[in-house]
Amino acid sequence: MITKHHFGVLDGGTDVYTYTMKNANGMTVRICEFGGAIMEIRVPDRWGRMSDVVGGYDSLRDYVLAGGYLGALVGRTCNRITEGKYSIGDKAYSVYCNDGKNSLHGGKVGYSHRIWNVKPVDGDEPKLILTLDSPDGEEGYPGNLKVTVTYALLSSNALSIRYEAETDATTIVNMTNHAYFNLGGYASGKIFDHVMQMDADRYLPTDQGLMPTGEQRSVTGTPFDFREPKTIGVDFDMENEDIKTAGGFDHCFCFTGGETKEPVMRVQVYEPNSGRMMQVYTNQPCIQFYSGNFLDDPEHPLKGGYPQNKQSLFCVETQKMPDAKKNDGFDNIILNPGEKYDYTTVYQFSVKN
């Protein structure tokens, strides 16, 4: 089942709507046209009680003005590009820098702040097909890029997100979704007791500006080793320069073996109080794990007026390596005419007794 609701009006007079998908189990997912944002995911705990497990806002104005990209689709390239500069062949490009001297999550008006066209497809497993035309030169990126993102609510209590894109000129593409999770409920407090396991054998160290240094470092012997289950908080205060610089986790983790043809389970997170489990399936090679270190904006409280609090939500953003064009041995983020960008991420929810 899909229902459509009016959410607000932008300053230019454009009406903005949200779409709520519901499956036979009662799980609901709410998506906004603005930014294609995941506003709400309601799933049961071990006693069958439904809670909203993603952070978001009550008003359109907060989605427009607040930082943090809560729930949004981000592109044309997610994450950071050093000084907004890169080259394709012998041609240099400069994209908009909106994060100090660097570019972040697509630039000044990235996909997170665009109105997406939404086509609802109702049924037992409802879908929302979102499309966007990203013109040549937008934010400094070359090529007209046609983007399709399909949200599907599966009968197994999973949310599938398929990202597709095609271009008429060689460009770079690296998209993701920036949902913030707390499996105890978005207003349930710190995330430190969540138990995480991640099939990643390397991570990317960063400099003081949180830009990758170019090194791919083994997780062995570091706080970044989640190959065996452990709580997010257990190594949070370990003496480690990368943790100290970022104020927590805000790093790209590289999956063992890299990209796969079909989505495979790479990350699982368990919240012991509620019993909720989230497993992340993807064919992307990496994930940006962010522990909500900058959630401290008092002017933009979360839904229900709940204040933003550091480390109260976490992100697991599937993607390719950030700043990939600057570093030898990093992932290929080039998209040529005639090729198709096509990746899928599935967030599978369940309970563990």
Active-site residue list: 178, 317
Q: Flag whether the pTM goes above 0.85.
A: yes
326 pLDDT above the threshold of 90: no
% of the chain at pLDDT higher than 90: 92
ω into residue 202 within 30 of 0, thus cis? no
Q: Is 204 left (phi over 0), alpha (psi -120 to 50) or beta?
A: beta
* DSSP secondary structure string for all residues of 47-97: TS-EEE-B---SSHHHHHH-SS-TT-EE-SB-SEEGGGEEEETTEEEE---
Residues 142-170: b if buried by 16+ CB within 10 A, e if exposed: bbbbebbbbbbbbeebbbbbbbbbbbeee
The domains of the chain, with CATH numbers, are 2-351 (2.70.98.10)
Q: What is the pLDDT of residues 172-227, one digit of tens each?
A: 999 999 999 999 999 999 999 999 999 999 999 999 888 899 999 999 999 999 99
- What is the pLDDT at residue 325? 86
Task: Report yes or no: 122 and 19 within 8 Å, Cβ to Cβ.
Answer: no
